[in-house]
Amino acid sequence: MHVSISPEIITTVFGIPITNTLITSVIATAVLLIIAYFATKRMREVPSGLQNLFEAIIEALFKMIDGVTRDRKQTYQFFPLVTTIFIFIILSNWLGLVPGFGSIGFFETAREGGHSSFVPLLRSANSDLNTTLALAIVSVFATQVFGIAALGIWKYGKKFINFSSPITFFVGILELVSEVAKMISFSFRLFGNVFAGEVLLIVIMTLVPFIAPLPFFALELFVGFVQALVFAMLTTVFLKMAVTAH
């Protein structure tokens, strides 16, 4: 049993290492796009089937964001980012639980002195710090963009660099540090939960292959949902804080 924090590199295209987590990200993206395409292909006033499900999810998320912002205009602004974060994270988390993830792969020799190691072809996208950090960067970057757009660059910048008094100056530095901390907490929270889940499932399945892993799968489904929700909610809250003048 070999568990590595870094994702396994399958191949390299144009100098970009294609890892198994990147493949999963692309698969998740493709699945989402396909679902979205079929759900909105023939939109009808009275929804049914896939359109109904899609509308229900979007409406629920819209209401959730609206509950935080309490401002219809801001909700419409934040909606695309937050919703995409939520559905992308939840789908990649749940995709990681599909049989075949982590089990279909090939053995790679020639590493570690002839010792062969198993390389899974697919691995849950968020069990890779690159993915979660990418999401965190997008989230935090978007926060700055929305903040500047809402308050103007000078007013927003005063939050971080302010010489009016020593106290505000240090508060500004703290704010700057907190932006970086946000990124780290975002990425490590999601990564930690999903990676731990993966490891847990591997361990349980190695110990007791049948029946026993079932409750853990249920738990991982729940964790996948909660982590997606947490990421989306925190992003919403940070966005709301950024566009609110202090």
Q: Which residue, chain included where needed, has tokens 């419409």?
A: 76
Q: Give CA–CA dist 106/121, Å, rounded.
A: 7
Residue whose CB is less far from other proteins, 54 or 186? 54
Q: H-type helices in 70-128, by residue range? A: 72-95
CB under 8 A: which stretch of 17-25, 160-168, 210-218, 238-246 binds other proteins?
A: 17-25
Contact flag: residue 4 with other proteins (CB under 8 A): yes
x-marked contacts with other proteins along 92-131 as a string, rule CB under 8 A = ------------------------------------xxxx
Number of residues that bind other proteins (CB under 8 A): 41
Single out the residue of 65, 74, 86, 88 in contact with other proteins (rule: CB under 8 A): 88
**Residues recorded for the chain:** 246
> CB-wise, 1 or 16, nearer to other proteins?
16
Q: How far apart are CA 202 and CA 197, in angstroms?
A: 9
Instruction: Compute CA 83 distance to the chain's CA centroid, rounded to the nearest angstrom.
Output: 11
84 counts as binding other proteins under rule CB under 8 A:
yes
| 79-87, 115-123, 171-179, 196-204 -> range binding other proteins (CB under 8 A) | 79-87
Q: Which of 50, 64, 68, 134 binds other proteins (CB under 8 A)?
A: 134
Helices of type H across the chain: 20-41, 49-69, 72-95, 129-151, 153-157, 166-207, 213-243
Structural tokens at position 132:
């979660």
Closest CA to 242 of 161, 150, 176: 150
Contact call for residues 134 and 152 (beta carbons, < 8 A): no
Q: Residue 191 corresponds to which amino acid?
A: F
Distance CA 211, CA 207 (A): 11
Among 50, 66, 71, 79, binds other proteins (CB under 8 A): 79
Q: Which residues bind other proteins (CB under 8 A)?
A: 4-7, 15-17, 19, 22, 25-26, 29, 32-33, 36-37, 39-40, 43, 45, 54-55, 58-59, 62, 76, 79-81, 83-84, 88, 128-131, 133-135, 137-138
